[in-house]
A and B are shown apart, each in its own frame.
Chain A
Amino acid sequence: MRRHPTPFRSRMHLLLLFAVSACGPHIDDAPPEAAAATITVVDATGTERHLRGPAQRIVSLVPSATSTLRALGVESRLVGRTDFDTAPWMQILPSVGGGLDPNLEEIVALQPDLVIRFAGEQDPRTPARLDDLGITHFALRPDRLEDAYTSITQLGALTGSEQAADAVVAEIRAELDALRSAVASRPRLRTVYVLGGTPPWVAGSGTYIDDILSLSGGDNVFSDLGSLYASVSPEQIRAREIDVVLVSSAGDFDPTLAPGARIVEVGGTLEIPGPETAEAAWRLAELLHATKLR
């Protein structure tokens, strides 16, 4: 799955500024002896990763981690990003290519003390090569809503900004709780999330989109898919009495398959579990219910 960075980040960062400044001295101002302390964090592969102190030169291969580091107020420690980090503030950073097929020479040249990468089987090469090169790397698995909290907490520990991370997580939880109550009185909408293709390729349960759909007041009609994503028979779409079809662009879906449904374009920005999760869920809820909720 391509992970786009989100362009919207309006409200939360203002709140975060308060949260971070309220936490007392910032980690960047910490005395040198504190920086020498060893940090040990278990990553998404179950491996213990050690740092001699809060990471100071970070290459992020995971777009949601890139934006998390900014939410934690430590984006100045980023030294590299991927081609998929397209937000304006990231553009001063050099790119090391794709998150799953980064250019190792570029990474080495940036002399990072920490590389944040995707856990999973898609890229078996990079972790092995980073081990050979003696570069510390840390695997994130930003697949589900709960993973977003885990990733933020882990990144907080790696950068010595635990309190900022706790504040970000608390903020997201509070926003999502508020969303739950905002949609509680509304009827649940039978929804399908179509990624495109013929036959239509849809999201099942166990996906991040299924998580935020459910707390936005939608029920995924393909929660019985038995697979994270799969192509389904067009007649299944026709028969499942769908209220809303979510697509990234309207042309990706044949509207005659769901005659009574509202077809809602959500763009490609919904699929990033990270600091923007609450913002994305609120936006999804407003699109889903076709009304302003706050």
Chain B
Amino acid sequence: MEIGGTPPRYEAPLSRSTLGGLLVAALLISLLLGVGFGSVPVPTGDVLSVLSGGGTDVQRDIVMNLRLPRVLLGMLVGGSLALAGATFQALLRNPLAEPYILGISGGASLGAVSVIALGLVSASSWALPLAAFAGALLAIWLVFRVATATGRAMDVRVLLLAGVVIAAFFSACIAFILSISPARTVQTAVQWSMGSLAGASWGSVLVAAVYTLPAAGVLIALSRPLNLMSIGEETAYYLGADVEGVKRTTLLIAALITAAGVAVAGIIGFVGLVVPHAVRLLIGSDHRALLPLSFLGGAVFLTLADLAARVVMDPIEVPIGVVTAFIGVPIFLVLLRRSVGHT
């Protein structure tokens, strides 16, 4: 089976509506689990009384101001990353494509590390996310400039190469800054780069929601031309798609929602790579179903991964990127084996 394209006779193990139903149920369950469980034990009865306006001050803070925003942010970030990953895989026709492929993680890290090294993190709780976002935008701008410099049409191969090279350049900048920084700066930077949802607040949830939900809507609305594009740009052109327009719009939106995710939660690997592939293996490559179900799948996956990050080593928090890899890799390998068996 060809992972990046539309397999003509691939018999999907699940129907779209079945997987959709399962994921909606899973999303509700992960919401309940994420709010009900955490490092500090809060009895289920007390969680329910907090949700209906009761409970002690500490319980109310833990459930309403720490867990609930964290779960919602996890859903938004996980969904965005999976959706961006699915979009990049379709447009770049490359199964290895993931949300950070255009140098976004490198740019965001450079922004974050600069602010940490300059000691500006203490100045405002928005300093770090804004710097990471600005760094990601810089990377996106550079990569798009390079990819469009060759002619009128944007060449996705140039885009990929530019992403790799610019990421390498940013890595070198980061290595240089860290090499002349004290140990505490290095620790903070490494911690940030491994990703965490611990900084979630109602403010960050609101910003992430206002920013990512409309963008996700636009991407999902463009799933029909994305279907054509994933076959090949030339074919899509002859079938009447506005190839350049769709390519630029979708790449830019996918890059921008990734940048927002990185800004609020650091670099969380694997969600954007594994979830779209898993969904594709389960229901096939029709982007009209693949994109929304990847969003749901990413939301469920990251919420559960964050719950694991909070409780497995209680009271210590494990970096969420570690959990996404530990859970994601085995699931993905099982799915891959199954799908190879089917064809």
> A residues engaging B (CB < 8 A)?
1-2, 84, 195-201, 222, 224-227, 230-236, 238-239, 249-252, 254, 256, 259, 268
Residue B334 CB within 8 A of the other chain = no
With A197-B188, A199-B317 in contact, is A2–B183 under 8 Å at CB? yes
Pairwise interchain contact B122-A238, C-beta atoms closer than 8 A? no
Tell whether A2 pairs with B122 under 8 Å between CB atoms, given A197-B191, A238-B61, A239-B58. Answer: no
How close is A225's CB to chain B, nearest CB, in angstroms? 7
- Do A233 and B188 touch across chains, with their CB atoms under 8 A apart? no
Residue contact A199 to B198, C-beta cutoff 8 Å: yes
Jot down 23 A-B pairs with beta carbons below 8 A, ordered by A.
A2-B182, A197-B192, A198-B192, A199-B317, A201-B191, A225-B315, A230-B316, A231-B198, A232-B315, A232-B316, A233-B310, A233-B315, A235-B38, A235-B62, A236-B39, A236-B40, A238-B40, A239-B40, A239-B62, A250-B122, A251-B124, A256-B61, A268-B184
Contacts A196-B188, A199-B317, A225-B315 given; does A233 touch B198 at CB 8 Å: yes
Chain A residues near B57 (CB-CB < 8 A): 259
For residue A271, which residue of chain B has the nearest CB? B184
Residue of B nearest to A268 (CB): B184
Question: How many interface residues does B have (CB within 8 Å)?
Answer: 30
Contacts A197-B191, A231-B191: A251 and B184 contacting too (C-beta < 8 A)? Answer: no
Say yes or no: is B67 at the interface (Cβ < 8 Å to chain A): yes
CB distance from A259 to the nearest CB of B (A): 8
Q: How far is the CA of A249 from the CA of B122 in the complex (A)?
A: 7
**Do residues B122 and A251 form an inter-chain contact, with CB atoms below 8 A?**
yes
Contact indicator per residue, chain B 190-225, by CB within 8 Å of chain A (1) or not (0): 011000101100000000000000000000000000
Known: A196-B121, A198-B196. A235 touches B67 (CB 8 A): yes
Q: Are B199 and A233 in contact (CB under 8 A)?
A: no
When distances are taken between beta carbons in the complex, the residues of chain B under 8 Å from A200 are: 198
A2 lies within 8 A of B38 (CB): no
CA distance A199 to B196 in the complex (A): 7
A250 vs B124: C-alpha distance when bound (angstroms): 11
Inter-chain contacts of A236 with B (CB < 8 A): 39-40, 314-315
Interchain CB contact under 8 A, B58 and A238: yes
Contacts of A233 in B (CB 8 A): 38-40, 198, 310, 314-317
Give the complex CA separation of A199 and B121 in angstroms: 14
A238's partner among B66, B188, B314 (CB-CB below 8 A) is B66
Cross-interface CB contact of A235 among B39, B183, B184, B187, cutoff 8 Å: B39
> Which of B123, B184, B192 has the most CB atoms of chain A within a 10 A radius of its CB?
B184
Question: CA–CA, A210 to B33, complex, Å?
Answer: 35
Q: Is the CB of A231 within 8 A of B66?
A: no
A230: shortest Cβ distance to chain B, in Å? 4
Closest to B189 in A: A197
Chain B residues in 8 Å Cβ range of A199: 196, 198-199, 317
Question: Are A238 and B198 within 8 A (Cβ)?
Answer: no
Interface-centre pick from B314, B316, B317 (highest chain A CB count, 10 A): B316
Which of B121, B183, B315 gathers most chain A CB within 10 Å?
B315
B-chain residues with CB within 8 Å of residue A254 when the two chains form the complex: 125
- Complex interface bits, B38-72 against A, C-beta within 8 A gives 1, otherwise 0: 11100000000000000001100110011100000
Residue contact B183 to A1, C-beta cutoff 8 Å: yes
Q: Is the CB of B40 within 8 A of A235?
A: yes
The distance in angstroms between the C-alpha atoms of A256 and B125, with both chains bound, is 12
A121 to chain B, nearest CB (A): 14
Contact A197 B39 (CB under 8 A): no
Complex Cα spacing A259 to B317, Å: 22
Residues of B near A84 (CB, < 8 A) are 182
CA distance A230 to B318 in the complex (A): 9
Q: Which residues of A contact B314 (CB under 8 A)?
A: 233, 236
Q: Which residues of A contact B58 (CB under 8 A)?
A: 238-239
Task: Specify the chain B residue showing the minimal Cβ separation from A122.
Answer: B183
What is the CA–CA distance of A239 and B66 in the complex, to the nearest angstrom?
Answer: 11
Contact B315 A224 (CB under 8 A): yes
User: In the docked arrangement, what's the CA distance between A254 and B65, Å?
Assistant: 13
Query: Which B residues are in CB contact (< 8 Å) with A232?
Result: 39, 315-317
Q: A233-B38, A233-B198, A239-B58 are in contact. Are A195 and B315 (CB under 8 A)?
A: no
Question: Roughly how many angstroms separate A254 CA and B122 CA in the complex, as a whole number?
Answer: 10
Are A234 and B184 touching (Cβ within 8 A)? no
Q: How far is the CB of B68 from chain A (nearest CB, A)?
A: 12
Output the least CB separation between B178 and chain A (Å).
12
Candidates B39, B124, B310, B316; contact of A227 at CB < 8 Å: B316
| Contact yes or no, A197 B316, CB < 8 A | no
How far is A73 from B130 in the complex, measured between Cα atoms in Å?
A: 50
A230: nearest chain-B partner, CB-CB: B316
Docked complex: B154-205 residues within 8 A CB-CB of A: 182-184, 187-188, 191-192, 196, 198-199
| A226 partner residues in chain B, CB cutoff 8 A | 316
A268–B183 alpha-carbon span in the complex (Å): 12
User: Which residues 129-165 of B sit at the A interface, judged by CB distance below 8 A?
Assistant: none
Q: Which residues of A sit under 8 angstroms from B66, Cβ to Cβ? A: 234-235, 238
Chain A residues near B196 (CB, 8 Å)?
198-199, 231
Chain B residues contacting A268 (CB-CB under 8 Å) are 184
* A251 pairs with B62, CB closer than 8 A: no
A1-B184, A233-B315, A251-B123 known, 6 other contacts, Cβ within 8 Å: A196-B121, A231-B196, A233-B38, A233-B198, A236-B40, A239-B58
By a CB distance below 8 angstroms, the chain B residues around A225 are 315-316
Q: Are B38 and A252 in contact (CB under 8 A)?
A: no
Residue of A nearest to B319 (CB): A231
Residues 280 to 321 of chain B near chain A (Cβ within 8 Å) = 310, 314-317
Using Cβ atoms and an 8 Å threshold, which residues of chain A touch B310?
Answer: 233, 235
Q: In angstroms, how far is the closest chain A Cβ from the Cβ of B272?
A: 22
- B264–chain A nearest beta-carbon distance, Å: 11
Please determine whether A234 and B122 come into contact, CB atoms closer than 8 angstroms: no
